């Protein structure tokens, strides 16, 4: 659910707020870590059919999406 401010703009999520306060070099490292986590958890799911691993991969993908959007703003 998107929550709008009085001026009609969407409020930032906790993740978006966190990402916006991180410097670009650290943000790049966080993106690389998110990619690693996504791959690791998908591999774990393939071996064990773990639903928890898919949840972790999805959280990593959400973080990666927020990071990429923030990096796009900074270009």
Question: Per residue in 43-73, pLDDT tens?
Answer: 999 999 999 999 999 999 999 999 999 999 9
Q: What angle do CA 48, 59, 3 make, to 5 degrees?
A: 145
Residue 9: predicted pLDDT: 73
The domains of the chain are located at 14-74
Q: How sure is the predictor about 42, in pLDDT bands with cuts at 50, 70 and 90?
A: very high
Report pLDDT digits (tens) over 2-41: 555 566 677 889 999 999 999 999 999 999 999 999 999 9
CA distances from 42 to 1, 3, 9, 38, 47 (A): 27, 32, 35, 6, 9
> pTM above the 0.85 mark?
no
Tokens of 68: 């990429």
- Predicted local confidence at residue 30, as pLDDT: 96
Distance (Å, rounded) from C-alpha 3 to C-alpha 31?
26
């Amino acid at each position: 659910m998107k929550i709008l401010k009085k001026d009609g703009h969407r409020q930032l999520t906790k993740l978006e707020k966190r990402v916006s306060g991180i410097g670009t070099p650290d943000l790049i490292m966080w993106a690389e870590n998110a990619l690693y986590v996504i791959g690791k958890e998908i591999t774990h799911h393939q071996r064990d059919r773990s639903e928890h691993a898919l949840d972790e991969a999805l959280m990593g993908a959400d973080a990666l999406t927020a990071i990429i959007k923030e990096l796009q703003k900074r270009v």
